[in-house]
């Protein structure tokens, strides 16, 4: 592993434009293109492509194309998770998604952050922080999860919310930035937390 990639995975400042990361991007590009082109293919073929693209993928994971990511290799998705259309998972740092997670359309999980200093930003410097989504989380359509955020299990994030800070387990959060509006009850039938 080259120094630039090591720095990226360590959460240090790095420049994402080098030969090794470029090769990783080309691999991802080919696999995402195959997955997105084969949306109507047999489930076994889609599962095979996902297994090759992602770092780890649990049983019965469903991702509706189109699906986009930076590398794929740093994404882990637990069993029975559903990801709707137009997901963007930028995995310059690990993205860990638990089991039984529901992810609405147009959701973005973002690990990279860019330099605020204009000169360093122009030079291309960035760093990344992991995103972690707990078991049984529901992210509504258009949710954006920012670098370094952890969302606790059984939490629901309302459509269009921007999650800039960690959210605890078992809450409903909405808005930009997302804020907790109430605790959710566990158990029960339809509509229960």
Cα dihedral 112, 115, 116, 119 in deg (nearest 10): -150
Which of these, 99, 24, 109, 110, lies nearest to 62 by C-alpha position? 99
Q: Is 68 a catalytic residue?
A: no
The catalytic position among 6, 62, 114, 121 is 114
Rounded to the nearest 10 degrees, what angle do helices 19-37 and 43-53 cross at? 170
H/E element, 87: strand 87-90
- In angstroms and rounded to an integer, the radius of gyration of the C-alpha atoms of the chain is 17
- CA pair distance 29, 146, nearest whole angstrom: 23
- CA pair distance 76, 98, nearest whole angstrom: 8
CA separation, residue 111 to residues 70, 144, 147 (Å)? 10, 11, 4
The residues annotated as belonging to the active site are 114
């Amino acid at each position: 592993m080259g120094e630039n990639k090591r720095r990226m995975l360590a959460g240090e400042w790095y420049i994402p434009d080098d030969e090794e990361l470029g090769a990783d991007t080309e691999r991802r590009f080919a696999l995402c293109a195959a997955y997105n082109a084969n949306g109507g293919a047999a489930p076994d073929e889609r599962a095979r492509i996902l297994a090759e693209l992602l770092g780890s993928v649990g049983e019965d994971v469903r991702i509706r194309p189109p699906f986009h990511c930076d590398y794929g290799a740093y994404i882990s998705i637990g069993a029975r998770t559903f990801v709707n259309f137009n997901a963007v998972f930028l995995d310059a740092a690990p993205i860990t998604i638990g089991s039984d997670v529901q992810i609405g359309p147009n959701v973005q999980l973002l690990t990279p952050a860019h330099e605020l200093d204009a000169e360093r930003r122009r030079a291309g410097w960035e760093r990344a922080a992991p995103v972690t989504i707990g078991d049984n989380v529901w992210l509504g359509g258009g949710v954006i999860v920012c670098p370094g955020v952890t969302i606790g299990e059984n939490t629901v994030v309302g459509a269009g919310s921007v999650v800039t800070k960690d959210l605890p387990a078992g809450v409903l959060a909405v808005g930009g930035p997302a804020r907790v509006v109430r605790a959710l009850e566990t158990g029960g039938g339809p509509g229960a937390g």
